[in-house]
Amino acid sequence: MDGSSLPAARPTGGGATTPAEAYTGEPRPPEAACPGRLPRAPQHPAAQRLAPMPSPFSILHSELGTARTLSVLAGCLGRRLRGEPFRDAAEPRDRRERNGRTLARWALLLHRELRAALGAEAGLQLATRVCVAGSVADLNTRLGRPDAERFSTLDENGRRLQVREWVDSFPNAEATIEQSDPHQVRFTVQRCSLVEACASAGQAELAAAFCEGDSLFFPSLTPPIHIQRTQTIATGGTACDFCLCLNDPQPDSPAPLPEAAGAHA
């Protein structure tokens, strides 16, 4: 998933930049509305293959260069040795909160270091891009390439067990499954300890970046999986209500994600 990088984040005339815009440099299209039950489509040879994605390091390197990237990473390590980012936070109240802090720690340290080096706005934009890339990589590691054809052949109990396995692979989330039809899945996350970790570190502005990996990962699969959420905990909602809907496979390859500035000579 290394190789290409994404364009530099740029502000959008006077408005707040969303995490996806900060990541790609382009306005994010609205999330697709969930269609109804779709007919099962035959498995395409390219099905469930991720389009090339940049690594977090490649994004840093493309923006900062080698020397400055190494300096930033060394700064992150120094902060970690000094007990950041949770040095002044209360002790985690349970295992879920400890998990969230473990998952978010290095993203929060990077955000602090970039904020100190680049300023608040530019630091948040670059930290967001890196965090989103890391989230996509984490989704790929935890979920792999879900076999939609196999999932659609499972009985109701088998589908619910499979969805529960996917949901439980994320140690930061507490979720309830509402629907596990062959071509549509709904579940609600009532608690996300990544959001709690950002708040504990005094960096709540980074929390939404952890959600944006979902919006890039699922549609990049072949066949694409459309994702809809009417609210997220990271943006002030009471829950994250997920609807994942399977679409027909595309005839060729998945649409590539935007390349980074500097990817071409």
* CA atoms 170, 198, 211, 235: torsion sign: positive
Q: What's the confidence (pLDDT) of residue 219?
A: 84
According to the model, what pLDDT value does residue 15 have? 43
The DSSP letter of residue 204 is G
pLDDT at residue 151 tops 50: yes
More confident residue, 16 or 243: 243
195/204 Cα distance (integer angstroms)? 7
Q: Residues 64-79: pLDDT tens digits?
A: 999 999 999 999 999 9
How many CB atoms are closer than 10 A to CB 144?
12
Angle subtended at Cα 76 by Cα 64 and Cα 171, rounded to the nearest 5 degrees: 110
Lowest mean pLDDT among 103-107, 120-124, 206-210, 222-226: 222-226
The answer, yes or no, to whether residue 23 has pLDDT greater than 90, is no
Residue 171 CB neighbours (<10 A):
14
- What are the residue ranges of helices labelled H in the chain? 19-24, 56-81, 95-118, 120-143, 148-153, 156-168, 193-200, 209-220
Mean pLDDT, all residues of the chain:
80
pLDDT score for 7? 34
* Amino acid at site 166: W
pLDDT for 218: 84
Q: ∠ CA 133-99-242 to the nearest 5 degrees?
A: 60
Rounded CA-CA distance 101/88 in Å is 13
CB of 187 closer than 8 Å to CB of 204? no
Cβ atoms of 21 and 28 closer than 8 Å: yes
What integer is the mean pLDDT of 117-128?
Answer: 98
pLDDT of residue 52: 67
Could you please report the per-residue DSSP string of 206-254? GTTHHHHHHHHHHHHSSS-EEEEES--GGGT-S-EEEEEEE-PPPSS-P
Predicted confidence (pLDDT) at residue 258 exceeds the cutoff of 70: no
Percent of the chain having pLDDT more than 70?
Answer: 73
- Please tell me the predicted confidence (pLDDT) of residue 247: 55
